[in-house]
Amino acid sequence: MSLPPIDLAVFHDNGYVRKQCRVTSLWFWTCDEARETCGDTPEDEYTFIGAPLIEGFDQRGKALKDAMREAFLGYFTDREHTRIDPYPVLARWRDDIHLTIASIADFQPHVTSGAVQPPANPLAVSQPCIRLTDVDAVGRSGRHLTTFEMMAHHVFNRPDDGLEIYWMEECVEHCHRMLTETFGIQASEITYVENPWCGGGNAGAAVEVIVGGLELATLVFMDMEEHPDGEVELKGDRYRTMPLQIIDTGYGLERFCWAAAGTPTIYEAIYPETVAWLKQRSGFDNVANRWPSLDLDRLLSEMSRLNGIMNIEAGVDGEKLVNIFLKRLAERGVEVSAEQFSSITEPLANIYAIPDHLHALCNMLGDGLVPSNAKAGYLARMLARRVLRMRDELDIQVPLTELATHHLDVNLGGQLNKQTRDGLLTILALEEERYIEMLRKGTNVIQTQLKSLPKEATEIPDGHLFTMNDSHGLAPDMVITLARHAGWNSVTLRTGFSAEMAERHARMAKEAATANSGGGHVLDVAGYPATTPLYYESVYLPTFEANVLGCQSAEGLGPEGATHAVVLDATLFYPEGGGQEGDRGRLQQNNVGVDVLDTQKIGDVIVHFTNGPLDGSPNIEGHLDWKRRKQLMDHHTAVHIVGGAARRLLGPHIFQAGSHLTVESGRLDITHYHRLNRADLDAMEDMANEVLSDVRATEKSELNRRDADMVHGFDLYQGGAPKGDSIRILKIAEHDIQACGGTHHDEPGQIGSIRIVRSSAVQDGVERLHIVAGEAALAYARSQDELVRLSSEVFGVHGDDLPKAAARFFKEWKEQRKLIEHLESEIVRLRTSGGGDATTDVDGVRVVVMEIDGDLKSMTTMLKELTLDAAQPTLAVLGSKDGGGKLMIGVTENTLASERYNAVDLLRSISSHIRGGGGGRPTFAQGGGSYAEGLGDALDAAREQLGL
RNA sequence: GGGCGCUUAGCUCAGUUGGAAGAGCGUCUGGUUUGCAACCAGAAGGCCGGGGGUUCAAAUCCCCCAGCGUCCA
């Protein structure tokens, strides 16, 4: 079964009729009798270019967006909707996506699953979003953006609980009234297209709202979830109705602005100052002068109309696209050559994309993101690099920081969510430095990679292009440009290469994804009720009493040595979570005791892994390994304190990227754009220890999620996205506030002391702090003392003098090694200059066959000494009993000696005497064996062959 | 999270099938020059990132670790 028609009174009341689209076959509603297409087809041109469909908005740029946003939100707040503040673009509350991609993303997964109440109901919001999937089309299509605001009204109905705010009828009515009354759009211009929506395991009926050939909004009525027995089938999956009915709408703020401005592209409507500025700086205005006969205005307006009906998506081959454009333009009476076309559209695409990318970048960094080479940080770096590349293509000599300053002031009103202006500019300056460094390195790499390629070559081998892109960050067309500068003047990029490379990446990603799937073995705890956590009541209790609910065999499921899994009705044992390791200790029955080796949480059930079974009686007494627990608490609370210190000292971009607490140490990963030095660590360490003495008590509280978000914001979720509705919060005065389910001290002073041992890099943009606290800090200090003591004993100096002594010894060692080398070669010279028994003259060639004491190194020196002098042609055969026997043969190159003798042949014929092999070049061969006693025979064989 | 690449002299980097550690710049000494620049001659400067393995032999091949870079999700 598919979905029934969307037949609403609001359509009939406004004179709309249901038709089927001639092109797409989709059903749609229109009040234009002549209309045969749904509006969003290759036959529907944009009708608003030069003829705005939305009236009363004369502003442009930021002012236009602000006015449009207020008009939208005002309509809904006047009609009982609560306006909520937008969420960050960095989706910290989710672990499945990095960026906020839609307004509904604010409420996933917990509100949409029904676990958590929405912040308001119904609500209206204008949510900044970032989508990077179509990043290649931005600037080229006239309408694609990586960052946009999704205006929305959301409703969360629970019909079973009697909560029904409104559904399709009222939703569409709101939409229709707003479009026609608030925005003055002619009803005849609007079509409502029925097109069911599904995604992420949910589905529902949906209506696309098309105005003037442009999709202005989508209204989704999500009331189904994926289920194998579902009655409704959509795109191959089956769905059934669910208890929650959600209205998910999305109105494109920027598209409203565009429809109100009627500019050739969306970019001119929302970033007019930047577009003008870039045109001026890049000298684009002069382009038209190059071809006086060309009507640039006419060309651009025809192009923007064409853009509306041509599906310019990422991955479309550039050259093919140009040809289609030229043909279509010619049909419309605009004659333009391919050269003219590219010289206009290529810079224009960059001019349009730069403000869009800057907007996304400022939003991301403004939320505290730190650029990196992995995860979300990479997305920021990619955008920064694209901007820099486009800037260079436009040949604008403006630093990235200046571009950002302009964007910040002109298009963002100087407002950043979290990051400071200085912080943003520092980060971008670093990104530009990295980019320049990459280009410099890349030029070198190209020189080396292309060394074997003749200068007349017309193509660079695919393998080189792939390597340079994937490993060195140089896109194929950049490689071509750099190669031409480096002297390969005729190389070009094969048509379609970029598409091939994208395909290759997609294939690789797919392979990696399939290779990665595979589930782990887990314990089955279904049927047990949630375990009551006693550790929150007081973190200082060492013993407790509880009832055994179950004890099952768990061989291989827990840590090494664990044989059983015990489930209790309540426990003091903290299960591993939030980076804190699970508690250990002992469970005691009347006469049976088992050790708890680890504690884990599976769902709401806490599992104790033990080294033996319990005897079956219900009551047990639990004894915590309190010393261990205390140490884990020391480290955990210390990590919070150090994290707070880092944020205060380094900036608002400091976010916890991970943590791990063990008995030995605590580990805290923080996001930062620089490597940390010892001075940074010392400052944090000082501040952390001040907190220990200044803050008398920590505050622990529990809030529902909605209140937690509202009171503390999303910085609360340093430890990752929380799962349930109820959030435990640890507040250490104003120093650090975050959601954390771990066990923490009531008084920071109980930790004793905190040391930041060192920092290391996890990835670019993430710094790992190694922390010891409490007893562990003491143990660490002792072990360091021990290292110093042992080392200074070796040198026979006092610990304070250790660095100086080590430096002196290292220096002397180097000097002496040098001296030994000199002396060795001197000895060789002395031994060889005199000649002696080992030397014979054979028809003008000095032949030396001798056994020496020494390793390969000194043999080499000796052989060098014997055979490097061209004035004295020499064949030298050296043998040593070192390490199973070594043989080395050399002849003086380019002399009588090298004409007459072949070192390799000679070596091969005698090396069998020492039971080994060898090889080399005709003028130099070396080998070895495992039978040193045969060395004499080997040398004799050599003499024999040489006729001595 | 996955893939790929890099780490060699103070700096920028070469280093072919495993077989004698290199170039350019910089430094120092001497020459030339009124002096400087330039030039000429010479020298110093290397745990070839660390650890293990294979091999008669490893900068080179394999494994682990560290640092750095890069692409994709």
Q: What is the DSSP string of A443-466?
A: HHHHHHHTTTS-TT-S---HHHHH
What three-state secondary structure class fits A96? coil
Backbone angles phi and psi of A750, in degrees to 5: -65, -15
Instruction: Give A512 CA → B2 C1' in Å.
Output: 6
Residues 505-544 of A with CB under 7 A from strand B: 505, 508-509, 512, 516
Ramachandran assignment for A752, one of left (phi > 0), alpha (psi -120 to 50 degrees), beta (any other): left
Structure-token pair, residue A410: 């002109």
User: Given the structure tokens 């620089």, which residue do they identify?
Assistant: A674
Instruction: Give A928 CA → B60 C1' in Å.
Output: 19
Q: List the beta strands (DSSP E) in A515-662.
A: 532-533, 543-553, 564-568, 570-571, 585-588, 593-602, 605-610, 619-624, 656-661
Please say if the pLDDT value at position A193 is more than 90. yes
Structure-token pair, residue A328: 């279509």
Burial of A419 (0-12, 13-18, 19+ CB in 10 A): buried
Q: If you measure CA to C1', which residue is closest to nucleotide B17?
A: A920
CA distance A946 to A23: 93
Instruction: Give A913 CA → B53 C1' in Å.
Output: 28
Query: Which range has the worst mean pLDDT, A554-563, A864-873, A888-897?
Result: A864-873
Nucleotide nearest to A502 (CA to C1'): B72
ipTM over 0.90: no
Residues 866-885 of A with CB under 7 A from strand B: 867-868, 883-884
pLDDT tens-digit readout, A698-724: 999 999 888 888 888 888 888 777 777
Structure-token pair, residue A331: 């049909």
Q: What is the DSSP letter of A126?
A: E
What residues have CB less than 8 Å from A681, skipping those under 6 apart? Answer: A756, A758, A759, A769
Instruction: Give A780 CA → B7 C1' in Å.
Output: 31
Nucleotide nearest to A472 (CA to C1'): B70
Cβ neighbour number for residue A186 with a 10 Å cutoff: 14
Give the model's confidence band at A518: pLDDT under 50 very low, under 70 low, under 90 confident, else very high. Answer: very low
DSSP code string of A865-893: HHH--TTS-EEEEEEE-GGG-EEEEEE-T
pLDDT tens-digit readout, A383-420: 999 999 999 989 998 999 999 999 999 999 999 999 99
Residues 375-394 of A with CB under 7 A from strand B: 375-376, 378-379, 381-382, 385
pLDDT of amino acid A120: 93
CA torsion sign for A546, A551, A554, A560 is positive
Please say if the pLDDT value at position A156 is more than 60. yes
What distances in angstroms separate CA A170 from CA A27, A165, A166, A219, A435, one per listed residue? 20, 9, 6, 12, 52
Instruction: Give A762 CA → B65 C1' in Å.
Output: 14
CA torsion sign for A730, A736, A737, A741 is negative
Residue A51: name the closest of A241, A273, A305, A251 by CA: A305
Residue A104: name the closest of A87, A117, A80, A82 by CA: A87
pLDDT tens-digit readout, A238-277: 899 999 999 999 999 999 999 999 998 999 999 999 999 9
Q: What is the DSSP letter of A188?
A: G
Q: Is the CB of A748 under 7 A from strand B?
A: no
User: Given the structure tokens 């037949």, which residue do they identify?
Assistant: A7
Nucleotide nearest to A886 (CA to C1'): B56
Cβ neighbour number for residue A563 with a 10 Å cutoff: 17
Q: What average pLDDT does chain A have?
A: 88
Instruction: Give A440 CA → B26 C1' in Å.
Output: 20
Nucleotide nearest to A860 (CA to C1'): B20
What distances in angstroms separate CA A517 from CA A158, A510, A511, A514, one per listed residue? 36, 11, 10, 6
Region A664-673: what's the mean pLDDT?
Answer: 92
List chain B nucleotides near protein: any atom < 7 Å from a Cβ.
1-5, 12-15, 19-21, 44-47, 56-57, 66-73
pLDDT of amino acid A519: 44
Structure-token pair, residue A379: 């997305």
pLDDT of amino acid A287: 78
pLDDT of amino acid A871: 78
pLDDT tens-digit readout, A530-543: 999 999 988 899 99
Q: What is the DSSP letter of A622?
A: E
pLDDT of amino acid A361: 96
Nucleotide nearest to A516 (CA to C1'): B2
Q: What is the DSSP letter of A771?
A: E
Q: At what angle are helices A400-411 and A338-366 packed, to 10 degrees?
A: 70
pLDDT of amino acid A314: 47
Please say if the pLDDT value at position A623 is more than 60. yes
Q: Is the CB of A448 under 7 A from strand B?
A: yes
